[in-house]
Structure 1
Amino acid sequence: MFSAVLRVRTAFYSRLDEYSRTRRALVGAALTRITLGSVGLYFYVRDYLDRGYLWGPEGVWPWQNFVDPDQGGTFSLYSLGRSDIWFELLFHAGMLAALLFTLGWHTRVMTVVHYVFLWSLYQRNPMLMDGGDNVTSIVLVFMIFVDSGARLSLDARKRAERKLPDADTEAVRHRIGSLLHHAGLLAVTLQVCTVYLVSGMYKVQGRHWQDGTALYYILRVNEFGWPGVNNLLYENAFLVVLMTYGTVFFQLAFTFLLLNRALRPFAVAGGVLLHLGIAIHMAGLITFSLTMIGLELLIMGDDHYRRVRAFLHRFRKALSVTT
């Protein structure tokens, strides 16, 4: 018994030492940063011409509702002033922060700055949200601890141009940073699993999900539907039943699929396809779908991306030979 406990403790400290030296999932973290930043930037660009009406001090969401705690009001930089100048300053600063976060310029700092500006914007008009804002508000806090600027960023490019030496893996600062990085990765992954598991558990309680007709009604919602496309699906009874049950099964199985490293890429691919389908056939939920896709990309390890890159290289080479 004692020897078994000793082996477990030794294995734990060995794995802890490994994770404190080497930072994993750097490519996935970078792709998540780029996706989340792009979605945030999309908010600003999409509403730019109507920014005053949608987000301004005299906009469609009453100011009193915005600042009144009893109406759900909470901290927002936009509540610190009601002038148009203050609003324009914050809106454009938030847009710049989203861009710099996406590009990976001083990534750790810009993660905090982007989060504060985006949270403030969300609170100004909660009626424009689609659920992706809730997920983003949570995971951006975790992303502060993730080294999302180590790849595909201006920070990484600057380090390469200056030929800066690799971090000292024995340094206490590096080790603590690596542990925080992996803790952030775990927190984001658990958040994604929670979204899937809770969604799946709620679905199995619904009568229409149980009888396989739920997607028929969902695809016919005018606010989110795509005329001329959705009807191709909901008019096919077999596809409706297959996709309804398939969605529930996948959401319930997602967390367990991640436990097997060999099945992890298939789980991520399934999640990406699921949310691409939501983005296409429920156009009003496009930001939520893109946010979830971005978070799922973080789950893949660097070795997975190396294999994907090698496969694409071989595929491109084969195409060039045939042509």
Structure 2
Amino acid sequence: MTEEVRLGNGGKAFAGMKATAYSLVDRFSGRRNALVGAALTRIILGAIGLYYYLRDYFHRSFLWGPEGVWPWQNFTGPDDDTFSIYALSKSETWFQLAFHMGAVVALLFMLGWKTRAMTVLHYIFLWSLQQRNPMLLDGGDNATVIVLVFFVFVDSGARFSLDARLRRRKKAQPDAESMRYRIGSLLHHAGLLGAILQVCTIYLVSGMYKVQGERWQNGTALYYILRVGEFGWPGVNHLVYEHATLVVAMSYATVFFQLAFVFLLLKRSLRPFAVTCGVLLHLGIAVYMSGLLTFSLTMIALELLIMGDEHYHRIADRAQRLFNGRGSLRPAADSG
């Protein structure tokens, strides 16, 4: 009798787990979340990619060309086994063609035209450019190319894109019950999870390294960072590093935030707070360490992916009430 009861309880537990699993699959396959955040992330990452091309446009041959500052033999040597479309030919014509194609792809990715295909192409062209001259990398590029792999599966063109505008004109409605839509939704959420885990990994690893450093432990790390002339703005950084108490407080706050970031995300109501702190942190880095501008903007873009659509809708509604404006982040119809 006891054995039957045990098996019966075990069967009920298994049935409960099975029902929960089916419920989760139905929940994440029937609707796509974080579409607003994915769109904002796409726009910023595309703008940063375009910035890479336009920033040194008139010096492109010197920086990335076949006869550029980074020797061709270093780029194509036996020790360099990374793929780059620039390695296919040493022709200046091929370089110019690939470079300008990469800039166009970055623009189309930012605008959201044929978004999924442009995501793949943007990854290929941006990776290729970065491998041509690794001396120009700053950390943000590494995070970008990793996240772009996940973004291939994310429906980042569902909002604020040419694709979404075209669907609205055609009044095209996705069939939320179709197997194609459901599989796409599961891949969308898997891509989101991968990108968010990458952000969490960056913060956690950075925080763990900092907490082991003597200057972070005694609160003086930011003082030395702000005194680095390569990154700082003359006449600006001294406004912070001349105040000892502020430097110590900001040093400790940086470490505590990076270590706590992952745990803040576990509670849905705390996610806007975590994202706000992350954005402020990287805005500070962008201002006081101007050499890391693209890294800061990349991290801000990735953090915007974390908040759900309801958070953005709430912000938009409050902004409407505050400024008595028109328009909304809410779509007229769910474009999937």
TM-score, with normalisation over the residues of structure 2? 0.92
How far off its partner does 1:73 sit?
4.7
Instruction: Measure, in 1, the Cα distance between the counterparts of 2:203 and 2:214.
Output: 19
Of 199, 206, 212, 1:199 maps to 206
2:47 is the counterpart of 1:38: yes
2:309 is the counterpart of 1:309: no
How far off its partner does 1:5 sit?
3.8
Q: 1:24 to 1:98 in 2, by over 3 A?
A: same
- Residue range with higher mean Cα deviation, 12-21 or 288-297: 12-21
- Residue range with higher mean Cα deviation, 287-296 or 9-18: 9-18
2:166 is the counterpart of 1:130: no
Q: Which residue of 1 aligns with 2:237?
A: 230
Instruction: Measure, in 2, the Cα distance between the counterparts of 1:203 and 1:122.
Output: 27
Q: Which residue of 2 aligns with 1:22?
A: 31
How far off its partner does 1:69 sit?
3.5
**Kept after mapping to 2: 8 A contact 1:65/1:73:** no
Instruction: Measure, in 2, the Cα distance between the counterparts of 1:263 and 1:5.
Output: 33
For residues 88-237 of structure 1, the aligned pairs below 5 Å read 88-164=96-172, 166-237=173-244
Query: Which letter maps to 1:31?
Result: L
2:61 is the counterpart of 1:52: yes
Instruction: Measure, in 1, the Cα distance between the counterparts of 2:318 and 2:177.
Output: 35
Count of equivalent residues:
316
Query: Which letter maps to 1:42?
Result: Y
Cα deviation digits, residues 233-275 of structure 1 (max 9, x gap): 0010011001000000000000000000010100000100001
- Residue range with higher mean Cα deviation, 4-13 or 58-67: 4-13
Instruction: Measure, in 2, the Cα distance between the counterparts of 1:209 and 1:12.
Output: 44
Q: Which residue of 2 aligns with 1:321?
A: none
Instruction: Measure, in 2, the Cα distance between the counterparts of 1:267 and 1:227.
Output: 31
How far off its partner does 1:167 sit?
1.1
**Kept after mapping to 2: 8 A contact 1:213/1:241:** yes
Cα deviation digits, residues 54-110 of structure 1 (max 9, x gap): 11110110111111142x451100000111100100000000000000000000000
How far off its partner does 1:12 sit?
2.1
- Residue range with higher mean Cα deviation, 140-149 or 309-318: 309-318
- Look up the SS of the partner of 1:262 in the other structure: helix
Instruction: Measure, in 2, the Cα distance between the counterparts of 1:152 and 1:5.
Output: 43
Q: Which residue of 2 aligns with 1:300?
A: 307
Instruction: Measure, in 1, the Cα distance between the counterparts of 2:287 and 2:17.
Output: 48
**% identity of equivalent residues:** 67
Instruction: Measure, in 1, the Cα distance between the counterparts of 2:257 and 2:207.
Output: 8
- Residue range with higher mean Cα deviation, 40-49 or 5-14: 5-14
Instruction: Measure, in 2, the Cα distance between the counterparts of 1:120 and 1:290.
Output: 21
Instruction: Measure, in 1, the Cα distance between the counterparts of 2:21 and 2:78.
Output: 46
- Look up the SS of the partner of 2:296 in the other structure: helix
Instruction: Measure, in 1, the Cα distance between the counterparts of 2:233 and 2:78.
Output: 37
Query: Which letter maps to 2:87?
Result: S
Query: Which letter maps to 2:20?
Result: A
Instruction: Measure, in 2, the Cα distance between the counterparts of 1:122 and 1:13.
Output: 43
- Look up the SS of the partner of 1:145 in the other structure: coil
Instruction: Measure, in 1, the Cα distance between the counterparts of 2:255 and 2:15.
Output: 42
Query: Which letter maps to 2:36?
Result: V
TM-score, with normalisation over the residues of structure 1? 0.96
**What stretches of structure 2 of length at least 5 have no aligned partner?**
1-8, 326-336
Return the index of the structure with the highest Cα Rg. Answer: 2
Instruction: Measure, in 2, the Cα distance between the counterparts of 1:69 and 1:219.
Output: 40
